[in-house]
Chain A
Amino acid sequence: MSPPRLTGALRSFSNVSKQEDPGGQVYDLKSKRLKRQELFARQGLTWQKVVQFCTQHRDKAQQQTTSQELKNVLAAARQIVGAEHGQETIESAAVFLFETFHNKDHVGTEETRAIKQMPMALLATSSVASLFGRNIAFSYDSYTLDPLDLPWEASLEDEVDLDF
């Protein structure tokens, strides 16, 4: 439980905050999981879906090899788009590679051209969805208690207190 707070008292006793709507829906973990699955299903192919599919449909013996191969695809994507781009862009590139080489047994001119054109297309997409505040310097500092000498260790014994 949170310790007693000034703002807690102000929310309860002043008239300047929104009154809680007791009927308003609050999502718990279970309903959120369901909602997320719906969203997940509606999105196109994502790197997360590729990873999930490949790991779920392999037996334990094959999982390590699969995991290594997926890592290789991700590393190749990072090399192509450049490590300076965010994880989101790199994962999109990995999905692109996955789709490009799905059911292919060799690298032809078509695939080479597609890869050459890939970075521009991905960078254009990622710049649209850039995260607000990415370039803002943010500090995690917080107010803390100052270190202090404790008075009773030095002077409590000497103190004369006439407390009737």
Chain B
Amino acid sequence: MACAIVPLDEQQVTEPSAVGKDRTLPALHPDRKEERCFVPYRPPPEDGSPAQVEEFLEHAKFITEDLEWLLALPHDKFWCQVVFDETLQKCLDSYLCHASRGLDPAGLPCSPAVADVQRCIHRAVFMTFLRMATHKESKENFLTPTVFGEIIYENFLFDIPKILDLCVLFGKGNTQLLHKMIGNIFTQQPGYYSDLDETVPSVLQVFDTILDKCGLQCEGAGAMEPLKLNANGRPTAMTMSQQDLVDLVLYLCDSTTTIHAFLDIYPPACSTFQSHGFLSRLGSFYESAVPDMEKAVRKRNFTDKGLKEDLWKRMCHSCKRMVEVAHLLLQQSCLQPILEGGENIQTFAEELLQHFTSFLPEKRFLSDYDEQFPIAEDISLLQQALPLIDETRTSYLLQGVQSAWDSVGRRRPQGHLQSK
């Protein structure tokens, strides 16, 4: 074993070589990795024959055994394995890609043996990522923080899609642990902020793709381009194939849940999203896509009634998550700094009012937002923090909120503050 008190990345070890002679090499060295040969994860067979289930169980048992072996390794051996064993990285990545999320369409109930082994893999994968996100395991076992940052980044032990997967797969009940893990990853390797910055346009592209598939003009890239000559003949949410509609709703549901899980677990990422104007793009996407997709789910004939119900639930779930994402972004960028007080409170108040004002044309989005997070309460907070705030402006805003409710033909829930 490597010697203690020195960081692992500076340790040397003396081991017998293949020819029997002792040799000294860095504690983190590819030759110290074991040939374990991890297998990639495969989800359980849907409606599988007993033989297929048996094969799945054997396959899954290999993964749990190997991960438990990995977790039982001493610190130096663990890091040699995670850095130099590509089969391990493929195994972990395959789990993140293919493991069933709680939101995935429910398949047939699986046997207790399958459920058991799935739970074992789920826990072992999380513990492996937790250990990989920890640069200091104990007083004796640690890596130099900057070297840790380089190792995880250069070897892609973590990347932005993996971090998002971790949030959506494990975040519901392990928020605090994940917050610490992601916080440590971003702190020790600020390169992840640049990667996140590079990823947000791709997230926005997902919204544009959904609008495009629904035959809706999108405000981003689409608005800048001339309309294609055959644009009028393109499928819409009402006319596309049933499978396409199902896929679109599933995609929206997964995307909104994933973004929400990430921002909820790691709020410091909100500022990167905001630097791309995420909030206004989200509002306009909601306004364009939600009514059309909802209408398609309500009006189209589905042979399977259960499918229609499932899609409706997914639409409602997606709407709720989008509104919550909007609130998280406002909370981080404006509301929290206002509550904390400080010098720039006027600037944050102005920013908040500008955001609310920009929501006014998005009537469906505004009324749904106001239903979950009453805007009048935030205005009241502003009035307490800044007694000299322009009352004409706040009244105009609150009237706009009321008008949004009226125009979507819904009544405001009891208990909401009424506009002045």
Contact partner of B160 (CB less than 8 A), chosen from A5, A14, A25, A138, is A14
Q: Is B3 an interface residue (CB 8 A)?
A: no
Residue of B nearest to A13 (CB): B202
Contact partner of A132 (CB less than 8 A), chosen from B72, B156, B164, is B72
B313 touches A146 (CB 8 A): yes
CB distance from B330 to the nearest CB of A (A): 22
B317 touches A146 (CB 8 A): yes
Q: Which of A9, A31, A136, A151 has the most CB of B within 10 A?
A: A9
Q: Is B342 an interface residue (CB 8 A)?
A: no
A10 touches B39 (CB 8 A): no
Residue of A nearest to B205 (CB): A13
SS of A interface (majority) = loop
Contacts of A131 in B (CB 8 A): 68, 71-72
B55 touches A146 (CB 8 A): no
Q: Mark A123-164, 1 if CB is under 8 A from B, else 0.
A: 000001111110010111111111110111000100001000
A31 and B35 CA atoms in complex are apart in Å by: 13
B156 touches A18 (CB 8 A): yes
B247 touches A4 (CB 8 A): yes
Q: Is A15 an interface residue (CB 8 A)?
A: yes
Residues A14 and B38 in contact in the complex (CB < 8 Å), given A146-B320, A148-B316: no
Size of interface on B: residues with Cβ below 8 Å to A: 77
Contacts of B55 in A (CB 8 A): 29
Contacts of B309 in A (CB 8 A): 150
Residues A10 and B202 in contact in the complex (CB < 8 Å), given A27-B39, A133-B130, A142-B169: yes
A143 and B299 CA atoms in complex are apart in Å by: 28
A7 touches B161 (CB 8 A): yes
B164 touches A10 (CB 8 A): yes
Q: Which of A15, A25, A27 has the most CB of B within 10 A?
A: A27
Q: Which of A32, A36, A147, A156 has the most CB of B within 10 A?
A: A32
Binding site for A on B (CB under 8 A): 35-40, 43, 55, 58-59, 62, 68, 71-72, 74, 78, 86-87, 89-90, 96-98, 101-105, 119, 122-123, 126-127, 130-131, 137, 156, 159-162, 164-165, 168-169, 171-174, 177, 195, 198-199, 202-203, 205-206, 209, 247, 250-251, 254-255, 257-259, 261, 298-299, 309-310, 312-314, 316-317, 320
Having A132-B72, A145-B317, one finds 17 other A-B pairs with CB under 8 Å, namely A2-B104, A6-B254, A10-B161, A10-B202, A14-B202, A18-B89, A24-B90, A26-B40, A29-B58, A128-B74, A129-B72, A133-B130, A136-B130, A138-B126, A140-B123, A142-B173, A145-B313
